[in-house]
Structure 1
Amino acid sequence: MNLLSLWPISAIVRHRETAAARIDLTIPVNSAFWRARQKKAGELLYLVIGDSAAQGIGASKPYRGYVQVVANHFAAETGRTVRIVNLSVAGARLREALAIQMPKLATLLRDASPDLLTVSIGANDINSFEKGRFARELEELYALLPSTAIVADLPCFHIPQRERLVAVANRIVRATAERHGLVVAPLYAVTKRQGILGAVYQSAADLFHPNDRGYRVWASAFLPAVAARAKDLREHATAGRKAPAGREANQ
């Protein structure tokens, strides 16, 4: 028997609302953590575009969200330290990413090319989904990204009505990413694979944001593309070290 069925629906709703209010209190805490984190020096630069998931909301600590897991993996794969500049904003939809995060990204791109850039945005658009607007805003956002960016599709919601909208949104994500030559991290596939019970087990108390376990699942969607990016950087560094000897030999 499902233990949740023994609870009155009203009790479940109250529990979720109380948990959501408590988790909302962590938003400024996580935001302050990432502002401080970007001051920490690193040999490689990792930029992040996203919403509350990129902020690690729902995790026991901000650094237990998927962003830090990805950064740790990137550092291990390259053997170099990583500076994280997390531009994400809790609650952001595509329109807020365009208005708030992308101008900051443009400023950063004028000064340096990121060694890694991940984008996970659009899940909050499902609440008031408009196919045309979603497509236009996603096109505008992806056009501003460097070709090395890794973009995630939307996660699985495990709710039939939401899933129909997510399916439409993810078709747009994949088609838009293909037009711009961007790699897609299969966030939907890895979260769907967990099943409903897995999703509950991997969710924070608000039953919306991931918990520490859930964020490790989220990170797993990015890791193959992150490993490939790290390999490219290693090969580029090796080629750079060999180039002077080659030129000297030709003289």
Structure 2
Amino acid sequence: MKSRTLIALLSSIGGGLVVAGGAALGARAGVKGQRAASQRVVEMLPTHAEWWRERLHHEGQLTYLAIGDSAAQGVGATVPSRGYVGLLARRIKHRSRMTVRMVNLSVSGATTWGAKKDQLPKLRGFAPDVCTVSIGANDIADFHPDKFERNIRAIYAAVPSHAVVAELPCMFSPDRERKVAVANEIIHRVADELGLTVAPLHTITKRVGIRRTFFNTYGDLFHPNDRGYEIWASAFEPAIDARVDTVAAIRHYLSAREAEDLGREAGAVANARAEQDTAGADDIEHAHRPGRMDRLRERVTGSIPIPGAQDRTGTGSEGPASRSGDVGGAA
């Protein structure tokens, strides 16, 4: 009996050692794989940057400008165009049915201070129709709320009033999430003060959950992969769609001089004119649509009323007495 107990104990210990050893080997392989992926990221950086620089020379009927870090560069995606900026550019093109010039000022590794220092001076040379800002994730490792707010305020004050600015994404680590919560409170408060639209990136990435986020992340366990960037893009899409529609309204209902003079109010004025135009079209459509009594008369008499041919007094050019077949008309 004692020998059986001893054998069971030794087997249990041996099994535990095997499991521990397997876990150690798996962890070592995981660390090795993450390091290799991180090295591949380093190799991606110049390739992605050159790809976006080349796009600066392309012409387009609309200009989309992005400020950000390596996520805006699309690092971690199979190709730069599969990053969230590339996906949004494609969406803008399809929704507007116009060509799009891409101006991606983002720099891999940029913090809010770096964006303020290096990207804002370049912004002055452009008048974008659509603008997105996603910056601040690289600040979290060494986070200082006061410095973060100063930099964010400078960036948000410099971008166009129609810019869409993003929350920081969910990072799931409790320590990082505490810092992200402070950063996102600053982002919302400053954006509200300046009238900017906030893309709910944290809300959407948190909703995905840590398990799915793991599979939506590149091998370095930091940057999104193709699927991850689709989720990022979805956070911007409603605001981007609204902006593209506003740009279309401005171009259709305002002259270039009017748009310039109106400034921040141009979108509201153009949308108001578009709504009036739509309402007028609906009124015309309804005016030409037979009413319930007209449809009843058609069924009873077999007549086909001509819209607008009869006024309320029955004295139109083709009144009731002038058309055979109408009730009360001549035989």
Question: How far 1:6 moved relative to its partner?
Answer: 7.4
Please give the residue correspondences for 1:1-251 in structure 2 after superposition, counting only pairs within 5 Å.
8-108=26-126, 113-240=127-254
SS at match of 2:254: helix
Question: How far 1:37 moved relative to its partner?
Answer: 1.2
Distance 2:99 2:25 in 1: 48
Question: Paired residue for 1:246?
Answer: none
Output the TM-score relative to the length of structure 1.
0.90
Give the AA of the match of 2:77: A
Distance 2:209 2:71 in 1: 19
Output the TM-score relative to the length of structure 2.
0.69
Residues 157-203 of structure 1 show CA distances to partners (whole Å, capped at 9, x for unaligned) of 11111111100100000001001100001111111111011111100
Residues 6-33 of structure 1 show CA distances to partners (whole Å, capped at 9, x for unaligned) of 7543332222112101111000000000
User: Residues 5, 219 of structure 1: CA spacing in aligned structure 2 closer, same or farther, 3 A cutoff?
Assistant: farther
Structure of higher RCO (CA pairs closer than 8 Å, 6+ residues apart): 1
Question: Paired residue for 2:299?
Answer: none
SS at match of 2:204: helix
Question: Paired residue for 1:248?
Answer: none
CA RMSD of aligned residues (A): 1.6
Give the AA of the match of 2:104: N
* Greater Rg over alpha carbons, structure: 2
Question: How far 1:146 moved relative to its partner?
Answer: 1.3
SS at match of 1:136: helix
Question: How far 1:76 moved relative to its partner?
Answer: 1.2
Give the AA of the match of 2:124: A
| Percent of aligned pairs sharing the same letter | 46
Residues 108-163 of structure 1 show CA distances to partners (whole Å, capped at 9, x for unaligned) of 2xxxx210000000000001001111111111111111101110010011111111
Question: How far 1:237 moved relative to its partner?
Answer: 2.4
Question: Paired residue for 2:275?
Answer: none
* Number of residue equivalences: 235
Question: How far 1:238 moved relative to its partner?
Answer: 2.6
Give the AA of the match of 1:215: Y
User: Residues 7, 235 of structure 1: CA spacing in aligned structure 2 closer, same or farther, 3 A cutoff?
Assistant: farther
Structure 2: gaps spanning 5 or more residues: 1-21, 259-331
Distance 1:5 1:216 in 2: 33
User: Residues 5, 190 of structure 1: CA spacing in aligned structure 2 closer, same or farther, 3 A cutoff?
Assistant: farther
Structure 1: gaps spanning 5 or more residues: 244-251
Distance 2:159 2:60 in 1: 22
